[in-house]
Chain A
Amino acid sequence: MLNRKVLSALGGILAALPALAYESSYNMTTGVTDISRQVHGLHMMTFWVCVAIAVAVFGVMIYSIMTFRKSKGAVADQTLLHSTKVEVIWTVIPVLILIGVAVPTAKTMVRMDDTRNADLSIKITGYQWKWQYEYMGTGVSFYSTLAPSSNEARQLHSGIDPKSVKDYLLEVDHPVVVPVDAKVRLLLTGNDVIHSWWVPDFAVKKDAIPGFINEAWFKAEKIGHYTGQCTELCGRDHGFMPIAVDVVSKEDYAKWLAAQQEAAKAAAPAATTAANSAASASATL
């Protein structure tokens, strides 16, 4: 009776384990792209392979520790020095497991590497400590920095409880906006030091390196607000240059882009005038 209770409790815990593992504060997100789901799948596959090996190896270890104790009168078997058969087995089996893991992994890698046929391209430049986004061929460009509310709260001895701040350290002033179900190609570079652009929900992490243009891509399948952070130590405020991406419907994206272009145009004449007056000023000099 008691045994059955214990067993059912154990069963319950075991059944709950996968659910626990999928809880986002414990585990990798499944994300909102096909690639991120594949990556999550590879992660879980490797994890369970490790768990299986751990159960076997730790099982033997624990059994040995429990059984072959001197205090229980165990006498050591001095003849057990090596066994070619066993050694071949425990070399070959890991090789087979590794091949089994490597094949699906290689497939995903090939897909991740394919940046062709993108619907739009965004150039991302890392600065100390903000991101610049340029929508290639549209004239839209802006900087994205830590939201003022977070920035205020994160100062030393600010006295502001971070829990009272919405999306503390993950909110920005200008989020990136992209259309849903569109293949977005990212071109990444750094202006000063190396940064790294990471949005876990897209399974995209790529370094933004001065003098290099790196490529990455994602195709978000769900409308929503996604966040990430810089993941390469880039100096004092490395922890304070988050990334926020709004995935919106294609119509909303078109509207947003038009509004941005309008704003850019409105700003442009002013800039041109300023440049002209500067030029004429230097001419008169």
Chain B
Amino acid sequence: MAHADTHDHHDHDHKPTGIGRWLFATNHKDIGTMYLLFALMMFFLGGAMALGIRLELFKPGMQWFDPAFYNSLVTNHALIMIFGAVMPAWVGLANWMIPLQVGAPDMALPRMNNYSFWILPFAFTLLLSSFFTAGGGPAGGWTLYPPLSLQAGDSFPLTIFAIHMMGISSIMGAINVIVTIMNMRAPGMTLLKLPLFCWTWLITAYLLIAVMPVLAGAVTMLLTDHYFGTSFFNPAGGGDPVMFQHIFWFFGHPEVYILILPAFGIVSEIIPAFSRKPLFGYDAMVYASASIAFLSFIVWAHHMFTVGMPLAGQMFFMMSTMLIAIPTGVKVFNWTATMWKGSITFEPPMLFALAFLFLFTIGGFSGLMLAIAPADFQYQDTYFVVAHFHYVLVPGAVFAIMAGVYYWLPKWTGHMYSMSLAKWHFWLSTVSVNVLFFPQHFLGLAGMPRRIPDYSTQFTDWNMVSSVGGFVFGFSQLLFVVVVWQCARGGAKATDKVWDGQMTGLEWTVASPAPYHSFTDAPDLTGVADTHH
């Protein structure tokens, strides 16, 4: 170790140069940057598809697309946003921040880190190339329900293999997070001193390892049903199409917590920082996250209330789903209590965290309503569901990603960004995201099914409002690119502490920009007072 340390000191901040720095990257910051840029590209690609959808739905009648192409837009929008934008953004943030937060020099498995990133561009090239195959892109919905998904043309194997690759990438990323957090924490950093972003990511990583293989199994069975004459899901051969839904949602429900748990972590760091007060109920936050993760394995069939489950099954999944409201409620109450008697300021990361707090909670309320099985018969597969999951995913997960980027960007680049531009981005996004998604509650309740390219004329007004919101939201995101671009290029020098807040993480003890190799000497936290308790 001593030798390695000396060596590192010689090489301090010696960066590899040229394309090799990125192709053969093993540095957690470089890999984190690539993940984040990839996620940003996919966010715009998936967003462009969403605007295509909103364009077609602007008014009744078919104006732009063939219904089959519309279906492939819907399908790919979901796959790209989930697997291409939100998940890689979380892995990117994990890469950048976990070593800095636990006091480690890098991620535990740097080469695997490289593989797990570089699989992604190939995976998405496969998925997107399917648009140019006979029959067009996958159009059976991201949920890939058979028998419909089996009707796909040549896009089918491309989609399946792309999903396999995304899954492998996620599993490798998750292994890296677990090994890093478990083995590379600075001396004295007990698990209950871990920053909450690390905690929620640790739990997320276990969820990923548990359910990604389940998805891989489900899509492999689809593949063999399609090409090798098996009948897993084909009733004519003794198979069961509903079994696919059970397997899929056994993956799919934990997956939604994979998308949101790191958001809980980020918000749990930003709200105390700008309330200048330690997080209220740190232990309760950790246990609530773990409870949510556990519950996520026993609620899956609430996505399937209309498939014809026995009454006892419906009761079980309704009750278990309602239980999730309790740990989630604990989290919302703790965040609120953190602000109580605080000393609050409203920097861009705090603004996004506050919007998260309000709007994610709205998504939580509609989630509770959806749990009520008899009412779910009316909500299921309508725009009410679309509104619900977009509230938890856009002003939920995506806003938390924005909050995290605005929080740590000066630490990454060494520059402050334009606060006024970031605030413009915030206000435009927050207003337009509500104009975009709130009316979709009304549409769903009034009876508009989801995944339809055209609608009955009574749904016209709210669809127009929603589309206008969609375009404003979409174009507002260009401001985010401007802010990040300017900040990467230059700007006022950021201090080590960056913010005038109460931050406790180790990332604020290193220079801004953070040195290329994080902690060559582990900081010793033994005996350091536990700020959370």
Question: Which residues of A line the B interface, CB within 8 A?
Answer: 24-29, 35, 38-39, 42-43, 46-47, 49-50, 53-54, 57-58, 60-61, 64-65, 68-71, 74-78, 80-82, 86-87, 90-91, 94-95, 98, 101-102, 105-106, 108-110, 112-113, 153-158, 160-163, 167-170, 192-194, 196, 198, 200, 203-207, 209-212, 214-215, 228-240
Q: Which residues of A contact B151 (CB under 8 A)?
A: 193, 235
Q: Which residues of A contact B502 (CB under 8 A)?
A: 76
Instruction: Using known A-B contacts A26-B446, A68-B341, A236-B68, determine if residue A81 contacts B532 with beta carbons closer than 8 Å.
Output: yes
Interface residues on chain B, number (Cβ under 8 Å): 93
Q: Which residues of A contact B145 (CB under 8 A)?
A: 193-194, 232-233
Instruction: Using known A-B contacts A39-B375, A158-B62, determine if residue A81 contacts B280 with beta carbons closer than 8 Å.
Output: yes
Known: A26-B442, A82-B282. 14 other contacts (CB 8 A): A25-B442, A50-B368, A68-B340, A68-B341, A70-B276, A87-B330, A98-B322, A98-B326, A155-B62, A162-B457, A163-B457, A211-B235, A239-B67, A239-B454
Q: Which residues of A contact B241 (CB under 8 A)?
A: 194, 209-212
Q: Is B333 an interface residue (CB 8 A)?
A: yes
Please list 8 pairs of residues, one from A and one from B, whose beta carbons are closer than 8 Å in the complex, sorted by A's number: A50-B369, A86-B337, A90-B333, A105-B373, A113-B314, A154-B454, A194-B241, A239-B454
How far, in whole Å, are A154 and B65 apart by their CA atoms in the complex? 11
* Interface pairs A-B: 4 shortest CB-CB: A211-B235, A239-B452, A214-B308, A50-B365
Report yes or no: B325 in contact with A98, Cβ–Cβ below 8 A.
yes
Report yes or no: A101 in contact with B62, Cβ–Cβ below 8 A.
no
Instruction: Using known A-B contacts A39-B375, A50-B369, determine if residue A27 contacts B240 with beta carbons closer than 8 Å.
Output: no
Nearest-Cβ distance from residue B352 to partner chain A, whole angstroms: 14
Instruction: Using known A-B contacts A76-B502, A82-B281, A229-B452, determine if residue A57 contacts B336 with beta carbons closer than 8 Å.
Output: yes
Question: Which residues of B line the A interface, CB within 8 A?
Answer: 60-63, 65-68, 71, 139-141, 145, 147-148, 151, 235-236, 239-242, 275-278, 280-284, 306-308, 311, 314-315, 318-319, 322-323, 325-326, 329-330, 332-333, 336-337, 339-345, 354, 357-358, 361-362, 365, 368-369, 372-375, 377-378, 380-382, 442, 445-447, 449-459, 461-462, 502, 532-533
Instruction: Using known A-B contacts A25-B461, A68-B342, A86-B337, determine if residue A206 contacts B308 with beta carbons closer than 8 Å.
Output: yes
For A26, A81, A153, A162, which residue has the most chain B Cβ atoms within 10 angstroms? A81
Report yes or no: A94 in contact with B339, Cβ–Cβ below 8 A.
no
How far, in whole Å, are A105 and B311 apart by their CA atoms in the complex? 12
Q: Which residues of B contact A49 (CB under 8 A)?
A: 368
Report yes or no: A210 in contact with B375, Cβ–Cβ below 8 A.
no
Nearest-Cβ distance from residue A125 to partner chain B, whole angstroms: 13
Report yes or no: A27 in contact with B445, Cβ–Cβ below 8 A.
yes
How far, in whole Å, are A38 and B446 apart by their CA atoms in the complex? 17
Nearest-Cβ distance from residue A76 to partner chain B, whole angstroms: 4
Report yes or no: B280 in contact with A154, Cβ–Cβ below 8 A.
no
Closest chain A residue, CB of each to CB of B326: A94
Report yes or no: B308 in contact with A209, Cβ–Cβ below 8 A.
yes
Q: Which residues of A contact B450 (CB under 8 A)?
A: 231
Closest chain A residue, CB of each to CB of B242: A209
Instruction: Using known A-B contacts A47-B369, A57-B333, A162-B61, determine if residue A235 contacts B148 with beta carbons closer than 8 Å.
Output: yes
Report yes or no: A60 in contact with B336, Cβ–Cβ below 8 A.
yes
Report yes or no: A46 in contact with B62, Cβ–Cβ below 8 A.
no
Report yes or no: B454 in contact with A64, Cβ–Cβ below 8 A.
no
Q: Which residues of B contact A101 (CB under 8 A)?
A: 322, 372
Instruction: Using known A-B contacts A46-B369, A158-B61, A211-B240, determine if residue A90 contacts B345 with beta carbons closer than 8 Å.
Output: no
Nearest-Cβ distance from residue A50 to partner chain B, whole angstroms: 4
Report yes or no: B377 in contact with A94, Cβ–Cβ below 8 A.
no
Chain A interface helix/strand/loop/mixed: mixed
Report yes or no: B381 in contact with A64, Cβ–Cβ below 8 A.
no
Report yes or no: B358 in contact with A169, Cβ–Cβ below 8 A.
no
How far, in whole Å, are A53 and B318 apart by their CA atoms in the complex? 20
Instruction: Using known A-B contacts A64-B340, A239-B455, determine if residue A212 contacts B318 with beta carbons closer than 8 Å.
Output: no
Closest chain B residue, CB of each to CB of A230: B449
Indicate which residue in A82, A113, A204, A229 contacts B280 across the interface (CB closer than 8 Å). A82
How far, in whole Å, are A236 and B311 apart by their CA atoms in the complex? 33
Instruction: Using known A-B contacts A42-B372, A42-B374, A105-B374, determine if residue A234 contacts B148 with beta carbons closer than 8 Å.
Output: yes
Indicate which residue in B278, B380, B381 contacts A81 across the interface (CB closer than 8 Å). B278
Instruction: Using known A-B contacts A87-B330, A236-B71, A239-B67, determine if residue A205 contacts B373 with beta carbons closer than 8 Å.
Output: no
Report yes or no: B358 in contact with A61, Cβ–Cβ below 8 A.
yes
Q: Which residues of B contact A71 (CB under 8 A)?
A: 345
Q: Which residues of B contact A231 (CB under 8 A)?
A: 306, 380-382, 449-450
Q: Which residues of A contact B318 (CB under 8 A)?
A: 102, 105, 109
For A65, A192, A196, which residue has the most chain B Cβ atoms within 10 angstroms? A65
Report yes or no: A203 in contact with B378, Cβ–Cβ below 8 A.
yes
Closest chain A residue, CB of each to CB of B441: A26
Report yes or no: A46 in contact with B307, Cβ–Cβ below 8 A.
no
Instruction: Using known A-B contacts A74-B343, A155-B62, determine if residue A90 contacts B242 with beta carbons closer than 8 Å.
Output: no
Report yes or no: A54 in contact with B361, Cβ–Cβ below 8 A.
yes
How far, in whole Å, are A200 and B459 apart by their CA atoms in the complex? 15
Instruction: Using known A-B contacts A169-B454, A239-B449, determine if residue A212 contacts B308 with beta carbons closer than 8 Å.
Output: yes
